[in-house]
Amino acid sequence: MTDESDHTAVPSAPPNPCSTRVWRPSKKRSPTVSSPSRGCSTTSSHTPSKRPLQPSPRSPDARRRQSSGLIVRGSTYYLRLRVPRSLAGIIGKTEVMKSLGTGYRADAVRKARIVAAAFEQEWRDIEIHGARPVIAAPSKQSKPAPPPTSPADKTLRQAFELFRTDPAKHRSRKTDLHYLNLIELTVGLWGENRTIRSIDREASRELLDVLLWLPANAEKKFPKLSPLAASRMAKEKGLTGRLSPASVNGYMCKFRAVMNFCQNEGWIERNPAKGLQVIDRVRRRDKRLPFSIEQLRLIFDAPVYRGCVDDWAGYSTPGYAHPRRGRFWVPLIALFSGMRMNEMLAVFSEFERALIRSRVIAGLERARAKGVQFGRPSLSPDRVARVEKALKDGQSIRAVAKATGTSTASVQRIKRSMLAVEEDRLESVAS
């Protein structure tokens, strides 16, 4: 028979073989608590740090720090709020939820405060005025989309001018001249008051047809005709010297750029000239054919070879001068060597560099023959002797340089030469 007093209430031991409990000051606990588990009995006393302990994520303090009602669905934060009981019957919901439109927690916390304040204000208005609030259904957009507005129609010239003065783009003078030519062509084709919104696919194809028949260098060949008139005249007469497919595609590319600008500004819904271009049927390697005999005869029968006024503005006017400069030699070098213009420029620059080098070398030789010394002047023997004496006395390099007015590099050089002489002397003595 066992005594009932021997059977004390012992808590069940944890799964691990050793359980250690650390004492912390508390009014309800004794100063020392021993582990009841078998095989290990540890009693320790611990003085808590003055630093505040970090609470567990499940503790009430940690839950209190988290933003109330902030949840994540996918990669977007939502705010869920409970509707007051007094207003649940009026609103018809017990809770409301709204997307914050962000995946970053810091932004979500900031937006949650703003949205929660808006809901609270609406609920206060309900309590005061008794009107049903207008609370939008959960949406993925943080802000409602503004109603579409019809922008004012821009004319063709206005759109081109706004495109050319766009501060976000920088264009060269030549490119800007191409846009000016395109403005005159389109304004002459469709009129001054044609709006951008009225230009459709058919009008864009009409522009492409005009460009296909536009003569090359129309301003020089037909100065009295507008580009549109020159194109129509070339189409009626069937002229062959028209713009190349690359030039036509270049103008269409610029027109598409203007239309893209108008689309981005909201003046049109779509680009009517998208994809409009012509196919170049001539292979790239066949575009640069060699000169024919007739073309070579015309080149070398020019006044610059037969006699001209000068080789500046009058090189194409017959005269009695026979200049022998660039206009004369470049075609001859290309004829006999087959070099292109860039290759000839490289040869000329290399020749000029070699000529300059030979002139510099000849000038140096003439100067040396006259007794001119080049480079920095050497130290006088008296200063070298003073430096050597100071170094033998055991002074430092900086002190010697300061005392003799010599640079530290010169003092180091003299010291190295002294060490080399001493080493040679020692080797000769040893041998």
| Residue 236, both tokens | 């009626």
**Higher pLDDT pick, 138 / 339:** 339
Q: Quick check: 256 pLDDT over 90? A: yes
CB contact at 8 A, 36 and 9: no
Q: For domain 156-284, which architecture applies?
A: Orthogonal Bundle (1.10)
CATH 3.40.50 assigned to 381-430 = no
Segment 285-307, tens digit of pLDDT: 777 778 888 989 998 999 999 99
- Tell me, yes or no, if the two domains 156-284 and 381-430 fold the same way: no
Domain ranges of the chain: 64-129, 156-284, 293-338, 341-374, 381-430
In terms of Cα–Cα distance, which of 220, 146, 158 is closest to 186? 158
* Whole-angstrom distance, CA of residue 192 vs CA of residue 94: 63
The whole-model pTM stands at: 0.40
In angstroms, how far is CA 184 from the centroid of its own chain?
35
Helices 201-212, 173-190: crossing angle, 10 deg rounding: 110
User: pLDDT at position 358, please?
Assistant: 93
Q: Convert the pLDDT of each residue in 88-117 to its tens digit.
A: 777 778 888 888 888 888 888 888 888 888
| Per-chain mean pLDDT for the chain | 79
